[in-house]
A and B are shown apart, each in its own frame.
Chain A
Amino acid sequence: GAVVSQHPSWVICKSGTSVKIECRSLDFQATTMFWYRQFPKQSLMLMATSNEGSKATYEQGVEKDKFLINHASLTLSTLTVTSAHPEDSSFYICSADVGQGYEQYFGPGTRLTVT
């Protein structure tokens, strides 16, 4: 089955610093990857759609200058949270389109805590 990995699985950083999260498709090529954020007891909210070789499409209300997305290859997308603040603390999950019926397979998530 399709496997998506994320790194790191958890990170603690200080307010004002930047954090990069990697999302990799391990056994397939993913033209499109998606980045979600999930706050406690809430559902996943799509942040942006990342297409290989082009600029990401951000959802309304998501600051593109704060959440930098790079999808430089068919197996890797990165999300950088710039100048992180405590309110950015959340569970960040990526997913990849496996190209069959719009199903997405999710990475294990990255738990970010900003102190």
Chain B
Amino acid sequence: RKEVEQDPGPFNVPEGATVAFNCTYSNSASQSFFWYRQDCRKEPKLLMSVYSSGNEDGRFTAQLNRASQYISLLIRDSKLSDSATYLCVVNIFGDSSYKLIFGSGTRLLVRP
């Protein structure tokens, strides 16, 4: 089983739509959670951290359910520029440092 699992999509939605992505993680000791955005042939960019209480940043809302080991990202009023791959990322601690484990990403296509 993958450590971080996401629906690969693609999600094909019209402009203005609301879309939700889900992610599950297997390591219950995971400490921090993030959503990154990656455009084609580019590096990932941090979209937002995810906190237990849930957090919102403009049109983006992230939720974390530690009991279910489940993370979500909601995008409201989708824009064409939101088209990208969204990576669910979990932080786990190793022997001497921490490391980020990336999901395989969910691809979003927003059409006019």
Contact = CB atoms under 8 A, between A and B. Distances in A.
B99 A49 contact: yes
Contacts, number: 50
Interface string A18-42: 0000000000000010100000001
B97 A51 contact: yes
B21 interface: no
B100 A46 contact: yes
Interface in B17-46: 31-32, 34, 41-46
Interface string B84-95: 000100010011
B46 A105 contact: yes
A72 B104 CA distance: 32
Contacts of A104: 46, 100
Contact of B94 (A57, A107, A108): A57
Contacts of B31: 102
Contact of B98 (A44, A93, A102, A105): A102
Contacts of A32: 97
A46 B31 CA distance: 18
Interface of B: 31-32, 34, 41-46, 49, 87, 91, 94-105
Task: List 4 A-B pairs, minimum CB-CB distance, nearest first.
Answer: A106-B43, A43-B104, A43-B102, A44-B102
